[in-house]
Amino acid sequence: FHSNIDLKRLLGCLFCCNLSFLYLVVSEDKAAQSLLNKLIRNNLVNTTNQVEVLQKDPNSPLYSVKSFEELRLKPQLLKGVYGMGFNRPSKIQETALPMMLAEPPQNLIAQSQSGTGKTAAFVLAMLSHVDPNNKYPQCLCVSPTYELALQTGKVIEQMGKYYPEVKLVYAIRGNKLQRGMKLQEQIVIGTPGTMLDWCSKFRFIDPKKIKVFVLDEADVMIATQGHQDQSIRIQRMLPKNCQMLLFSATFEESVWNFAQRIVPDPNIIKLKREEETLDTIKQYYVLCNSKEEKFQALSNIYGAITIAQAMIFCHTRKTAGWLAGELSREGHQVALLSGEMQVEQRAAVIERFRDGKEKVLVTTNVCARGIDVEQVSVVINFDLPVDKDGNPDNETYLHRIGRTGRFGKRGLAINMVDSKMSMNILHRIQDHFNKKIEKLDTDDLDEIEKIAS
Ligand SMILES: Nc1ncnc2c1ncn2[C@@H]1O[C@H](COP(=O)(O)OP(=O)(O)OP(=O)(O)O)[C@@H](O)[C@H]1O
């Protein structure tokens, strides 16, 4: 089942004049990124921001809860929640859960970054609303890919551990059912195409009996051609009083337009992402003439200061592979994150690095975009981040080395410059952030030692 992301990317390159191929590659990347984040995250992201709430009816009181008890959950579900190690609702759950569990049910559009507790919230809502005595589907949840659906399914299974009467089925390609059968499971989770077929073409599901409809990862969903229309067609088959819930990590205009078509009369909850800043980061650049010289500079740095954990970014897979080899030969414990790896393999590499089993992580841009490895104190741009036109990619630069304000530890960033062009990129990055990037002479041990103090 695991989609071979790299084969598709390769095909995308071969047919790069064919836009639809390119489209596929981009959307696969988004889904892969999202899956990767899910696989490596095992706790909530910290946030100091407040949720913004826009109520459908501004006059109705706004409830928020500080404990799961206040939600009057079924005892089996409360046990399930505590069994997962949750002590109290996350920021977004504080407001989203009372809305989702209210009677009559309310519709909701919620946006917050990955890892803030959205999945756990809607899973709890689905489990609370089903009637296990009714042996037919009552909740539908659509996800952009099979793998993402599976992850949500796992959360349903964990949270519903003490509520075994509630059953779950996956509406995914490859799960072939006998014609004419009717599903008995109360929750159906799957991808839009198969879900639509099961509701209309095969009628395994009676859409008129659905009480809760969840659309997860709306931003990833609309990046895949066809998913948007399929989702809307499913939504149109559902009864008027069905609760509609939509979740997204980002909220650009296209997502918002889609959300409004899926969710009528919504309450809206938004949680701003924690801003990243370069304020607590010391930034340096090193002048070199070749990749061998860059490696030598790196060795000198390693020789002069103790680096607990470093992340090194390269532009191409080839450079990353070469550098990882050179570093290993010098006796470093190196992890390599490369594009040809499957998402699960990538997650395993990042987890080992997180656990401190490896001290250096060498990676290409594509692989590490959007991944937070908070404890890394040194980031090395072996190649500076540029976009496809060769312009500085300021956003990636900030994301790689920036820290989120209050939680941020001090950090060190070293940029390797090996040509006039990369010097120009460096200057533009420096101007963009209006923060000086100091020159570092890596042949001068004393100077290197100073940067660590
Ligand atoms: N109230 C809570 N207390 C402690 N941990 C929680 C709580 N809610 C969720 N988590 C955990 O935090 C992590 C992120 O939660 P969740 O997957 O629900 O977030 P998300 O916003 O849906 O992110 P993603 O889209 O990446 O899955 C998970 O490991 C989850 O088990």
Q: What is the pLDDT along the chain (453 residues), one digit of tens a residue?
A: 333 334 344 333 333 333 333 333 444 578 887 887 777 777 787 777 888 898 888 777 778 999 999 999 999 999 999 999 999 999 999 999 999 999 888 999 999 988 899 999 999 999 999 999 999 999 999 999 999 999 999 999 999 999 999 999 999 988 999 999 999 999 999 999 999 999 999 999 999 999 999 999 999 999 888 999 999 999 999 999 999 999 999 889 999 999 999 999 999 999 887 777 888 889 999 999 999 999 999 999 988 888 888 889 998 899 999 999 999 999 999 999 887 888 888 888 888 888 888 889 998 876 665 566 666 778 999 999 998 899 999 988 988 887 665 455 678 899 999 999 999 999 999 999 999 999 999 888 888 888 877
Are residues 330 and 209 both part of a single domain? no
Residue 375 placed within a domain: yes
Residue 4 placed within a domain: no
| Burial letters 119-141, b for 16+ CB under 10 A, else e | bbbbbbbbbbbbebeeeebbbbb
Which of ligand 1's atoms lies nearest the C-alpha of 249? 25
Are residues 375 and 240 both part of a single domain? no
Amino acid 17: pLDDT: 33
What is the Cα–Cα distance from 425 to 414, expressed in whole angstroms?
14
Are residues 342 and 215 both part of a single domain? no
In the DSSP assignment, the letter for residue 392 is B
Four-residue CA torsion sign, 363, 365, 367, 370: positive
Radius of gyration (C-alpha) of the chain in whole angstroms: 24
Amino acid 373: pLDDT: 63
Four-residue CA torsion sign, 66, 72, 73, 74: positive
The answer to whether the CB of 140 falls within 8 A of the CB of 290 is: no
The answer to whether the CB of 40 falls within 8 A of the CB of 49 is: no
Amino acid 388: pLDDT: 85
Which of ligand 1's atoms lies nearest the C-alpha of 120? 18
| Torsion-angle region of 166 (φ positive above 0: left; ψ -120 to 50: alpha; else: beta) | beta
The answer to whether the CB of 167 falls within 8 A of the CB of 189 is: no
Q: Which of 39, 44, 71, 152 to mutate to test the pocket of ligand 1 (most atoms within 8 A of CB)?
A: 44
Are residues 143 and 259 both part of a single domain? yes
Are residues 292 and 255 both part of a single domain? no
The CATH number linked to 411 is: 3.40.50.300
118 Cβ below 6 A of ligand 1: yes
In the DSSP assignment, the letter for residue 70 is G
Give SS3 for 51. strand
The answer to whether the CB of 89 falls within 8 A of the CB of 109 is: no
Closest CA to 346 of 93, 39, 119: 39
Are residues 210 and 304 both part of a single domain? no
Residue 9 placed within a domain: no
137 Cβ below 6 A of ligand 1: no
Distance between alpha carbon 390 and the CA centroid of its chain, in Å?
26
Pick the residue whose CA is nearest to atom 26 on ligand 1: 114
Q: Which of 47, 64, 119, 217 to mutate to test the pocket of ligand 1 (most atoms within 8 A of CB)?
A: 119
Are residues 220 and 292 both part of a single domain? no
Token pair 């040194």 in the structure block, residue: 378
Residue 39 placed within a domain: yes
Are residues 65 and 209 both part of a single domain? yes
Token pair 């892969």 in the structure block, residue: 32
42 Cβ below 6 A of ligand 1: yes
What is the Cα–Cα distance from 42 to 295, expressed in whole angstroms?
34
Q: Go through the chain and tell me how many residues it has.
A: 453
120 Cβ below 6 A of ligand 1: yes
Are residues 318 and 251 both part of a single domain? no
Give SS3 for 360. strand
Give SS3 for 438. strand
Number of Cβ atoms within 10 Å of the Cβ of 279: 11
The overall longest dimension of the chain from CA atoms, in Å, is 78
Residue 15 placed within a domain: no
The residue from 210, 236, 271 where one domain ends is: 271
The answer to whether the CB of 121 falls within 8 A of the CB of 194 is: no
Residue 13 placed within a domain: no
Q: Is this complex's ipTM strictly greater than 0.95?
A: yes
What is the Cα–Cα distance from 412 to 436, expressed in whole angstroms?
13
In the DSSP assignment, the letter for residue 69 is G
What is the Cα–Cα distance from 278 to 437, expressed in whole angstroms?
11
117 Cβ below 6 A of ligand 1: yes
Are residues 333 and 448 both part of a single domain? yes
Which of ligand 1's atoms lies nearest the C-alpha of 92? 21
Rounded-to-10 torsion of CA 7, 11, 12, 17: 180
What is the Cα–Cα distance from 134 to 208, expressed in whole angstroms?
14
Q: Which amino acid appears at position 203 of this protein?
A: R
Amino acid 405: pLDDT: 52
The residue from 240, 271, 302 where one domain ends is: 271
Closest CA to 93 of 113, 60, 122: 122
What is the Cα–Cα distance from 38 to 143, expressed in whole angstroms?
13
Residue 136 placed within a domain: yes
Are residues 260 and 285 both part of a single domain? no
What is the Cα–Cα distance from 195 to 181, expressed in whole angstroms?
15
Residue 439's domain comprises: 281-452
The number of folded domains in the chain is 2
Closest CA to 377 of 336, 415, 399, 410: 410
111 Cβ below 6 A of ligand 1: no
Residue 10 placed within a domain: no
Are residues 197 and 70 both part of a single domain? yes
Which of ligand 1's atoms lies nearest the C-alpha of 34? 26
Residue 221 in tokens: 């969903």
Token pair 């002069």 in the structure block, residue: 304
Q: Which amino acid appears at position 82 of this protein?
A: Y
Pick the residue whose CA is nearest to atom 25 on ligand 1: 114
Residue 288 Cα, ligand 1 centroid: separation in angstroms? Answer: 44
Q: Where are the beta strands (DSSP E) in 24-171?
A: 51-54, 108-111, 139-142, 168-171
What is the Cα–Cα distance from 322 to 260, expressed in whole angstroms?
48
The answer to whether the CB of 39 falls within 8 A of the CB of 155 is: no
The residue from 271, 290, 309 where one domain ends is: 271
